[in-house]
């Protein structure tokens, strides 16, 4: 499997087929059982644990269950990530936060707390958090899994727009309605094996 710059790729399959495990391997949450894998120039068999934070700074990760810090505002959630990845200037950080929230259509959300947002808005904050360091790859694990259909469409529009700017997006999902509404290259995960789904079978 290869994914190119700016490509949007689905990984589909039933629950337990290995979709999430594949993403966890790519951000080095899980080790490879066998074979070879590289991402952004990092060899996932040979990468030292001290280099894993550097790898993760080059990736954006979108989780299904948000994992936002409930006791912090939207802005503070994003700044927490920025501080932990080496940002120093508060002025530049605020500017980056504002620009990234604008990207996901949340220009008025800086001072709101997660519980004040809808599920769709919280997921857009999660996408903003994934985008805050201008990553080259976004890994999204069932990002529409907890959302209503309209919020799901909004999240998909944002993710496809992100791919249009040159960031590769790999999205694990079992929501075939989404795959059919936003068709793109699709990989099928079945019993731990990936196969390419033909275009005429979308």
Domain-by-domain residue ranges, the chain?
Answer: 8-201
Which segments of the chain have a pLDDT < 70? Answer: 199-202
Q: Residue 202's pLDDT is what?
A: 46
> In this predicted structure, what is the pLDDT of residue 8?
97
Which residues partner with 170 through β-bridges?
9, 139
pLDDT at res. 199: 66
Question: Which class in CATH covers the domain with range 8-201?
Answer: alpha beta
pTM above 0.75, yes or no: yes
Sort strands 42-43 and 38-39 into parallel, antiparallel or unpaired.
Answer: antiparallel
pLDDT at 44: 94
CA of 18: how far to CAs of 63, 116, 152, 168, in Å? Answer: 16, 34, 22, 20
CA distance 189 to 181: 20
User: Is residue 155 a contact partner of residue 147, using CB atoms and an 8 Å limit?
Assistant: yes
36: buried, middle or exposed (CB in 10 Å: 19+, 13-18, 0-12)?
A: exposed
pLDDT confidence of residue 200: 57
């Amino acid at each position: 499997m290869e994914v190119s710059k700016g490509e949007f790729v689905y990984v589909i399959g039933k629950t337990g087929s290995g979709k999430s495990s594949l993403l966890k391997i790519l951000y080095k949450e899980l080790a490879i059982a066998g074979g070879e894998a590289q991402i952004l120039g990092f060899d996932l068999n040979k990468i030292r644990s001290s280099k894993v934070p550097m790898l993760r700074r080059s990736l954006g990760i979108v989780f299904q269950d948000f994992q936002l810090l409930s006791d912090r505002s939207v802005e503070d959630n994003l700044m927490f990530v920025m501080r932990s990845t080496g940002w120093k200037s508060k002025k530049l950080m605020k500017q980056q936060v504002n620009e990234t929230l604008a990207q996901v259509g949340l220009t008025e959300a800086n001072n709101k707390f997660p519980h004040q947002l809808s599920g769709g808005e919280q997921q857009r904050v999660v996408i903003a958090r994934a985008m805050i360091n201008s990553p080259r790859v976004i890994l999204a694990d069932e990002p529409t899994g907890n959302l209503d259909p309209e919020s799901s469409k909004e999240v998909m529009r944002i993710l496809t727009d992100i791919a249009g700017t040159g960031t590769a997006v790999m999205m694990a999902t079992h929501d075939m309605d989404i795959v059919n509404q936003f068709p793109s290259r699709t990989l099928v995960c079945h019993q731990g094996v990936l196969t390419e789904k033909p275009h005429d079978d979308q």
